[in-house]
Amino acid sequence: MNFKYPLPNVIKDFIENAELKEISIGCSDSQIIRVEKKEKIYFLKIMGANFLTKEYERLKWLQGKLPVPKVEMFIQEFNNDYLITEEITGKMLCDDYYINNPDTALLVLKKAFDKIAHVNINDCPFDVSNDYKLSLVTQNVKNGLIKNDSLKEETLKKFGSVENVLNYLNENKFKEELVFSHGDTSLPNIFGKEDSFKGFIDVGECGIADKWFDLAICEKSILRNYGIDYVNKFYNVLGIERDSFKVDYYLLMMELYL
């Protein structure tokens, strides 16, 4: 196994004699290793210093509140973060099984969103509401990380520039329906087994936010994986009416994310 980062001794000890497999999906400046030992599956994620702190803190807070990976180990050494978590069983909702059975996937999504809705935010220490989100995309634009050619063709035609998109987002803020938010409810982050919901991964941006953010992200992923017909079915299964303004607002905001 070729590691891009030096390994602390405690990590070396943990993975000794384990079967290792690199997971190629995900951020290019991270490394994710599947670790199989003693008939259990773990995932080792490595990134630069403080990049995994948010995920670690949120995983700890969510234990007993949502089905998320259990933290086995979190180490900061060599100016890097090392996070080992236990496997979430089941299949991603973008797995071939669910691509071929999207109606079953919608049943899993209903259960997943019900779970999110029942997380009490009274003692939640993580605020990821729109002021926070707008501060992130503002920095992206100011630092030149999002260019005009990063925008969708129709977005650039309508707004003309990333600066105009940012101005629109700031000038059209609305009263948020604050709930607990997963932060990235795309289908690869939601696991099921047939019509049962098994758990979430990638919770680094979870916290208190508007409920329509998660719905917009999930809608975008449904459209990409299952097709347009399943967007309406998604809202029907959830028993809510799609708020076009809010969904479009968040999809536009996501064009300014890295």
Instruction: Compute the Cα dihedral for 207, 211, 213, 218 and give only its sign.
Output: positive
Domain boundaries, the chain: 9-86, 91-254
Look at the block and give the residue holding tokens 């990063």. Answer: 150
pLDDT digits (tens, 9 = 90+) for 70-98: 999 999 999 999 999 999 999 999 999 99
CB 98, CB 109: distance < 8 Å = no
3-state secondary structure the chain: CCCCCCCCHHHHHHHCCCEEEEECCCCCCCEEEEEEECCEEEEEEEEECCCCHHHHHHHHHHCCCCCCCCEEEEEEECCEEEEEEECCCCEECCCHHHHCCHHHHHHHHHHHHHHHHCCCCCCCCCECCHHHHHHHHHHHHHCCCCCHHHCCHHHHHHHCCHHHHHHHHHHCCCCCCEEEECCCCCHHHEEEECCEEEEECCCCCCEEEEHHHHHHHHHHHHHHHCCCHHHHHHHHHHCCCCCHHHHHHHHHHHCCCC
- Is residue 78 within 8 Å of 8, Cβ to Cβ? yes
Query: Do the beta carbons of residue 62 and residue 181 sit within 8 Å?
Result: no
Residues sharing a CB contact under 8 Å with residue 188, sequence separation 6 or more, in sequence order: 25, 92, 93, 94, 221
The model carries a pTM of 0.93
Report yes or no: 126 and 207 within 8 Å, Cβ to Cβ.
yes
C-alpha dihedral sign at 22, 27, 30, 36: negative
CATH architecture label of 91-254? Alpha-Beta Complex (3.90)
Fold match between 9-86 and 91-254? no
- CATH number of the structural domain 9-86: 3.30.200.20
Note the pLDDT tens digit of each residue in 197-250: 999 999 999 999 999 999 999 999 999 999 999 999 999 999 999 999 999 999
* pLDDT tens figures, 126-171: 999 999 999 999 999 999 999 999 999 999 999 999 999 999 999 9
